[in-house]
A and B are shown apart, each in its own frame.
Chain A
């Protein structure tokens, strides 16, 4: 009877996927940021060295007779030594004329610059980073413009970048894997209370409508509150309907008794056969109605007492012999033999009234479905567990329906012509369950039905 709600995807999968995609994006971002930053830092440090080399070249320049003399310091080039042995180029111009160094390294115009200018360009078959600075040297009759360029290939820089990129990639991947693992763990642990709650609710018995009291995360508390309120309303409405049924049955039973006594009185007074026949049918119908109302009452009572079961020490044999005493006249009227067998008292903890009700309904059923001049037998035994078995020699239960018979208002297909409410077995089953037991129905090999109350 359980129906599955439609599923628009898994919450856990969605959470995990979001976290993992987020981690991947962050890892990629980390890689790119580190790489860009490393590139800037590496470029800056190369630029600082080129600038220092430029400065040392400019410092060495002097003007003699209008001609620049430049005693290149050894350090100017030695400082450009790198781990990757980068190639070094330079050019020194006086007023746009190449004094020394590599031609075509510096482009015109050779105009004054406030500070070193850096550019990356191809030169001599390689990509180089070039620093250029133009100074004005005081001389007579007019100052001399000195342009110095120093350039260096970028092999070492590329090597540094590659190493940093490789490291960043390793760290990024490790970060991603860690984050992915944490995403799996987080989504599992976040959704665990939800699963636990669902399991706890699913584990409950069919009539367990107590509110859920387990601690839940604050996000789940609205759901639990709603669930509790739903269960309270459901329980309340169930109680109301039980009460209503009991009240209705009670109200119906008393007028029925009055109608029955009137019918009996009338039966004594009428002589005509057909009238007597009609009156007997009427009395029989009234009996059945009254019996059904009684069973409805019994059922309501069993439900009520079962919910608030008070267990006392009782003896099943005593209870059964009382029932046998009370029902023997009825059985005799139907030409049936009602017997009880037991081996000493069978003591359990339970509710006398409930068990009386259950046994009476079972015996009632047995008497009703037994053919005349046969017997109904009650067996009380303590092994392997307290049981009360009621057997008859009637047609037995229909095999195909044996599992459904204890449900409310279910009746066997083979007894359509016999009156009955379908509540008797339900009452017996409810009583057994209220005592932590069950009702077992089976057919005897020798013919006849057997209902066993396991308590």
Chain B
């Protein structure tokens, strides 16, 4: 039954938005009466334990979970606001813009501290620092860098060793990469010097954290910058091969955020899901080393957490984005 529904849904999804959706699965509740349509930038296999935990507590709800890139999500929603109920994304700026433009419903019943919610409509529920991931073998006999400055020095000392072995997000494609890059650039000038070095050493550009980690594991990359460390730590098979460094100078940290679209007809179920996500109760449901970290009890000292504020809209401005991408391209693309 579950697979049958899955097939139908997959067909339906491909008919509707085949070009944009990366994946679509139905998580069936035990005594399901309503179906909540979730669109998310988080891969299904990463998010599945959370959804399973939620369905165990709320058997009356089924979840139709669709995955798309964070930039694509905005397009999908503006094309068809009625197609989804809940949006989950790591691109805080895009999420904030959705809420700012009035597409999110205010959920007044949820009591969350100001630092993790905006307008009672956008709620952060994870805390994930951007990290530097290294291939241990490539650093054998070398000092493992702990700050951006040390990384720059390591690469300058032996450029030929690292040439073509550096990887980072292509900020033109990845919403999360763009968020990390702009926040880094806002925080410190070191970012630009690092990108200059990356550019001069012919850095590889990626759309997603997963691909970078795969290439690191294979040894095609020695250094990946601004990767979600949590993704790397989920792979126990790679634990020996990879070193995950949270930069000591500053660690840009994002929150995965959730909002309920104002067009939803399932506010009750959607609110239940948001409440479950923000409660952090899912954290112990995952296996040890689960990639998503609830900020419940998490230590934010030393982390440069991106705040939910209107300032996030700045880098989404057309002119600002153009200028930033020009600067980034001139540094990274030679």
| Pick from A71, A84, A86, A124: contact of B319, CB under 8 Å | A71
Q: Which A residues are CB-close (under 8 A) to B310?
A: 77-78, 80-81, 86-88
Asked if A77 contacts B319 (CB within 8 A), the reply is no
Interface presence of B320 (CB below 8 A): yes
Q: What residues of A have a CB within 8 angstroms of the CB of B319 in the complex? A: 69-72, 92, 99-100
Shortest Cβ gap from B94 to chain A (Å): 15
B142 at the interface (CB under 8 A from A): no
Chain B residues, CB < 8 A from A92? 319
A125 within 8 A of B: yes
Judged by a CB distance under 8 angstroms, whether B137 is at the interface is: no
CB of B23, distance to nearest CB on chain A (Å) = 32
Q: Contact flags (1/0) for A51-95 with B, using CB distance below 8 Å?
A: 000000000000000000111111111101101111111001000
Indicate the size class of the contact surface on chain A.
Answer: 20 to 34
Residues of chain B within 8 A of A83, CB atoms compared: 114
A69 and B314 within 8 A (CB): no
Contact residues of B: prevailing secondary structure:
helix
Residue in chain B with minimal CB distance to A77: B310
**Is the pair A73, B102 in contact by a Cβ cutoff of 8 Å?**
no
Per-position 1/0 for A23-45, Cβ under 8 A of B: 00000000000000000000000
Report yes or no: A125 in contact with B102, Cβ–Cβ below 8 A: yes
User: A73 touching B313 by the CB < 8 A rule?
Assistant: no
CB within 8 Å of A: which B47-102 residues: 99-102
B102 near A74: Cβ-Cβ < 8 Å:
no
The answer to whether A77 touches B102, judged by C-beta atoms less than 8 angstroms apart, is no
* Structural contact, B320 and A71, CB atoms closer than 8 A: yes
How far in angstroms is the closest Cβ of chain B from A58? 14
B323: interface (CB < 8 Å) = yes
A11 at the interface (CB under 8 A from B): no
Contact indicator per residue, chain A 182-195, by CB within 8 Å of chain B (1) or not (0)? 00000000000000
The answer for the CA separation of A76 and B314 in the assembled complex, in Å, is 8
CB contacts between A and B, total, < 8 Å: 60
A101 within 8 A of B: yes
In the complex, the answer to whether B318 meets A81 with C-beta atoms within 8 Å is: no
Q: Which residues of A contact B308 (CB under 8 A)?
A: 85
Q: How far is the CB of A83 from chain B (nearest CB, A)?
A: 8
Considering the complex, give the chain A residue whose CB is closest to the CB of B311: A78
Closest partner residue, chain A, to B320 (CB atom): A72
For B100, B114, B119, which residue has the most chain A Cβ atoms within 10 angstroms? B100
Known: A69-B319, A69-B323. A74 touches B314 (CB 8 A): yes
Q: Is the CB of A78 within 8 A of B320?
A: no
Alpha-carbon distance A69/B318, docked complex (angstroms):
11
Name the A residues within 8 Å of B99 (CB-CB). Answer: 87
The interface bits of chain A over 342-385 (1 if a CB of B lies within 8 angstroms of the residue's CB, else 0) are: 00000000000000000000000000000000000000000000
Contacts of A80 in B (CB 8 A): 310
A126 at the interface (CB under 8 A from B): yes
B118 near A72: Cβ-Cβ < 8 Å: no
Residue numbers in B under 8 Å from A75 (CB-CB): 311
Chain B positions 308 through 334: 1 when the CB is less than 8 Å from some CB of chain A, otherwise 0:
111111100111100100000000000
Mask of B115-150 contacts with A, CB within 8 angstroms, 1/0: 000111000000000000000000000000000000
Asked whether, in the complex, the Cβ of B318 is within 8 Å of the Cβ of A124, the reply is: no
Q: Are the C-beta atoms of A78 and B309 separated by less than 8 Å?
A: yes
Question: How many Å lie between the Cα of A323 and that of B131 in the bound state?
Answer: 136
User: Is B2 in contact with chain A by the CB < 8 A criterion?
Assistant: no
**What distance in Å separates the Cβ of A102 from its nearest Cβ neighbour in chain B?**
8
- Please tell me if B287 contacts chain A, counting CB pairs below 8 Å: no
Give the CA-CA distance A69 to B309 in the complex, in Å. 24
**Interface residue from B102, B120, B318 paired with A87 (Cβ < 8 Å):** B102
Q: Which of A382-435 contact B (CB under 8 A)?
A: none
Please report the C-alpha to C-alpha distance between residue A77 and residue B307 in the assembled complex, in whole angstroms.
Answer: 13
Nearest residue (CB) in A for B99 is A87
Chain B neighbourhood of A71, CB < 8 A: 319-320, 323
Residues of A near B119 (CB, < 8 A) are 84-85, 87
15 further A-B contacts with Cβ under 8 Å, apart from A69-B323, A77-B314, are A70-B320, A71-B319, A72-B320, A75-B311, A76-B314, A77-B311, A80-B310, A81-B310, A83-B114, A84-B119, A86-B310, A87-B101, A100-B320, A124-B102, A126-B102
A-B contacts, 5 listed (Cβ < 8 Å): A77-B310, A81-B309, A87-B101, A87-B310, A101-B317
Chain B interfacial positions (CB closer than 8 Å to A) = 99-102, 114, 118-120, 186, 308-314, 317-320, 323
